[in-house]
Structure 1
């Protein structure tokens, strides 16, 4: 997965940029948006065939994304969100949906996401969720273990796996299990360095966001 330059960021980030223009305080430090992740790894005939994500956005982004899209008191439905979901799906495809699935030490490739594989909607708690099904171009044997990473290398968006329902294995071979490997916490002094100037001065390819991200480790007998 490659780091995306600001000019190539998807509609998701264009909305974020507009949000920041109206709320300068948000830009004090990275990250700017927080996403809670629930993922499923799908198997068929003993091989890994898909990764499904459900991303729940934070209150500030959700409020901005839904502004003016529905009548007062009504939720923004999938149908209303369809044009934005389509644009996000296309833009996110260019950067691999912030998803790195490594099997046998190598990142696998996902096929094109089709209509019906993605949607957005506003939940009853008024948080926006984005759903996407990613299908591997070629089904892959899991081996003894493989890893799943969901992260923005620039740390513009902070992806965190749900504490209670982070990962599910669907139709996995008997004995396969999943666990979450969390990154080492930053010391207080290092945490204070996460300012805009810090990220502006990072060398290209530093991929700081990867260092801050949790990983799913799937082990199979």
Structure 2
């Protein structure tokens, strides 16, 4: 499978989850460390989500081989743009792996204007910023994260500090939630069909395992 095809099915999951609860044939092939910054406006609405993903050296080297058209063992600006455009088109069908909910109800996000690709210390870095389609007020329980519809790539937040909030209102609390796989399955047993256990890549339920940033704010009338 070439890099372009891999990018077409990039996904997010945790290594622990995959090792303990998912059938053996489903496991990540690509790994990345992530950072998410939620930017809040003065009126307590969400301005944007800023994502940065740093991919593992093995996958990054395959990207280099695929996109280094002039064979100079580096990615110039034009080649990096090709990488970014490929990822952008590939992830569009998955909503760029973003999970945003208010009181457990999905929030629609605008597609990012663009993705930026960089290659630093033998690692591919992807960055993008997105905004809610409609004003998103911090009220009640608001969750942010990424999740994996195909369990192909493990994009993980290695430190709680990598899920941050800029201008968090003083009345709100911030928590990083790392679900226990067994507990997540138990709590969502009624929603999980045989199809999930037979082929989890064909469902949308992998988001129940995703690490998420949970903000709790006083409910607005």
Using the size of structure 1 for normalisation, the TM-score is: 0.72
Pair 1:82-2:81 in alignment:
yes
- Structure 1 regions of 5+ residues with no counterpart? 1-8, 17-26, 187-197
Please state how far the C-alpha of 1:15 moved relative to its aligned partner: 9.2
Match of 1:134 among 130, 135, 138: 130
Mapped contact 1:77–1:121 kept (Cα < 8 A): no
Deviation sequence 1:47-98 (CA, Å, 0-9, x none): 11211100111121111111262624xx535543112202211221221011
Please state how far the C-alpha of 1:119 moved relative to its aligned partner: 0.3
Please state how far the C-alpha of 1:157 moved relative to its aligned partner: 1.4
Pair 1:216-2:213 in alignment:
yes
Pair 1:98-2:97 in alignment:
yes
3-state secondary structure, aligned to 1:50: strand
3-state secondary structure, aligned to 2:37: strand
Q: Which residue of 2 aligns with 1:112?
A: 111
CA 1:205–1:12: 2 relative to 1, 3 Å: closer
Q: Which residue of 2 aligns with 1:37?
A: 34
Question: Following the alignment from structure 2 to structure 1, what is the Cα–Cα distance between the partners of residues 174 and 45?
Answer: 15
What pairs with 1:39-188 in structure 2 (closer than 5 Å)? 39-44=36-41, 45-67=43-65, 69=68, 71-72=72-73, 75-114=74-113, 117-124=114-121, 126-163=122-159, 165-184=161-180
Q: Which moved more, 1:50-59 or 1:77-86?
A: 77-86
Tell me the number of residue pairs that the alignment of Structure 1 and Structure 2 aligns.
188
Q: Which residue of 1 aligns with 2:7?
A: 12
Using the size of structure 2 for normalisation, the TM-score is: 0.72
Deviation sequence 1:77-128 (CA, Å, 0-9, x none): 55431122022112212210111100233211112322xx42011112x111
3-state secondary structure, aligned to 2:161: coil
Q: What RMSD over aligned residues (CA atoms) do the two structures have, in Å?
A: 3.1
3-state secondary structure, aligned to 1:39: strand
- Structure 2 regions of 5+ residues with no counterpart? 12-23, 183-194
3-state secondary structure, aligned to 2:54: strand
Mapped contact 2:32–2:54 kept (Cα < 8 A): yes
Mapped contact 2:150–2:201 kept (Cα < 8 A): no
